[in-house]
Amino acid sequence: MGAATYGSYYNTMSTSKHDKPFMPDHTVDRDRLMAYLEGRADPAEQWDVERAMENDPLLHDAVEGLSQTGALQAMGALDNARPSPGSNGRWVRMTLALSLMIVGAAAWLVVSSIMEEDVVTDLGLAQEHPATTIQEMQPLPQWEELEIEAATEQPESLLIGHQVDDRHAEAMVSMPMERGVTVEPMAPSGVEPRSLSSETTAGPEHLRRSFQQVIYLHDLKVLHPDAMHPITSQIVQAERHVPARHEDMDLRDQEEDPMRTMAYLPFMDAALAKFAQLDHKGSLTDLLFLLEQYPTDANALFYAGLCSYNLGMYERAQQYLHRASLHPTGVFDQEAEWYHALALERSGDREAAHSAMQHIVEEDGFYATRAREHLLGQ
């Protein structure tokens, strides 16, 4: 192969910066790298990335690693751990939240399986398995940057979840919370796991507690966290999942940031205060933070669904409300199903909405009358 072969190169490049072909002159940004790894780059773009690889051992190693099966898919979870600008200590909390989310989901799986097993063996009842469980569902799509900020509050006439005669707003006990207040278990309120009959009195202790601990914050129903998260009811509990090397840093952040040790109920109280004051963006932001740590939290799922709906994000609302309706405790089953049907309708899926409404009528529950009227009005 002689020098003449490279005539085109010399002609076009002799006066360019590529007079020094081995001189690194650029880095490859993430978008171009992703295009390369996903096979979307044309030959010129491929060369551009590969030339950078030849000059950059970090990029070379990274491409090698990211070419492995599952690597690109796993990068979404990595993005969740990005340091948050302008908030000292918050990023550390975020990384902990990620760990807690995984542990929380695993713990929930264990608890759920124990609950189901106990019901069948101890009570002799056939557990009613929903067609889909929360655990079987795909992870919720990530929120885009500024998605909440860009959302529009709906007119008050279109808002849901704020009527005094809503099922979740039956103010049996109103208990405004203050930060740091310890919450004692409340008296039984009649909320049952969906698969148990009302006559059932025997059963595992943790299962009985699950339908005894319904409280109301700002006249909004909340299932006590002990009924869902027996391991902890703290928002971000650094001590449990932090490598030993972070201990000093955690203590420092803990002193600087009271959110690190905030108990569940005060946190939920603040979130629902915003909801009650029609600050759905603020409430949703808080609830999403909680869901990072407790992905199957019934309270957060339900009220995040209402907030999403009231911000006009109906597909998001469907996702949260559907999960809330499937929650094993059944604490929001009827209201979540009702609002889910409304969200289906608002997002234009009239057929699915009609079917969901019919189901509510057939179940003859709390929202049967509203659903019937709604169907007649269509």
- For residue 251, state whether it binds another protein (rule: CB under 8 A): no
- Exposed / middle / buried, residue 81 (Cβ in 10 Å: 0-12, 13-18, 19+): middle
Residue 37 CB, nearest distance to another protein (Å)? 9
Tell me the C-alpha distance between 185 and 183, whole Å: 7
Of 207 and 287, CB closest to another protein: 287
Part of the chain binding another protein (CB under 8 A), chosen from 52-60, 161-169, 223-231, 338-346:
52-60
- For residue 109, state whether it binds another protein (rule: CB under 8 A): no
- For residue 94, state whether it binds another protein (rule: CB under 8 A): yes
Residue 82 CB, nearest distance to another protein (Å)? 5
- For residue 63, state whether it binds another protein (rule: CB under 8 A): yes
Part of the chain binding another protein (CB under 8 A), chosen from 8-16, 194-202, 208-216, 303-311:
8-16
Structure tokens at 33: 């790298």
* Among positions 4, 11, 38, 65, the unique one binding another protein when judged by CB under 8 A: 65
Part of the chain binding another protein (CB under 8 A), chosen from 210-218, 220-228, 266-274, 283-291:
283-291
Tell me the C-alpha distance between 96 and 90, whole Å: 10
* Among positions 4, 11, 70, 124, the unique one binding another protein when judged by CB under 8 A: 70
- For residue 134, state whether it binds another protein (rule: CB under 8 A): no
Of 189 and 283, CB closest to another protein: 283
* Among positions 51, 162, 208, 370, the unique one binding another protein when judged by CB under 8 A: 51
Phi and psi torsions of 223, nearest 5°: -85, 130
SS (H, E, C) 166-218: CHHHCCCCCCCCCCCCCCCCCCCCCCCCCCCCCCCCCCCHHHHHHCCCEEEEC
Terminal-residue alpha carbon distance, the chain = 78
Tell me the C-alpha distance between 132 and 87, whole Å: 39
Q: Are 376 and 197 in contact (CB under 8 A)?
A: no
Find the binding residues for another protein in span 320-359 (CB under 8 A): none
- For residue 21, state whether it binds another protein (rule: CB under 8 A): yes
- For residue 83, state whether it binds another protein (rule: CB under 8 A): yes
Find the binding residues for another protein in span 292-321 (CB under 8 A): 292
Please give the DSSP secondary-structure letter assigned to residue 41. -
- For residue 279, state whether it binds another protein (rule: CB under 8 A): no
Helix (H) or strand (E) holding 220: strand 220-223
- SS3 of residue 263 by DSSP: strand
Of 83 and 139, CB closest to another protein: 83
Part of the chain binding another protein (CB under 8 A), chosen from 74-82, 109-117, 120-128, 315-323:
74-82
Of 12 and 121, CB closest to another protein: 12
Residue 175 CB, nearest distance to another protein (Å)? 26
Please give the DSSP secondary-structure letter assigned to residue 264. H
Point out which residues pair with 215 in neighbouring strands: 222
Q: How many helices (H) and strands (E) does the chain have?
A: 17, 2
Residue in 309, 287, 291 with CA at minimum distance from that of residue 162? 309
**Count of residues engaged in binding another protein, rule: CB under 8 A:** 74
Residue in 182, 187, 179 with CA at minimum distance from that of residue 215? 187
- For residue 86, state whether it binds another protein (rule: CB under 8 A): yes
Find the binding residues for another protein in span 143-172 (CB under 8 A): 143-147
Helix (H) or strand (E) holding 344: helix 333-346
* Among positions 17, 26, 71, 348, the unique one binding another protein when judged by CB under 8 A: 71
* Among positions 32, 35, 66, 192, the unique one binding another protein when judged by CB under 8 A: 66
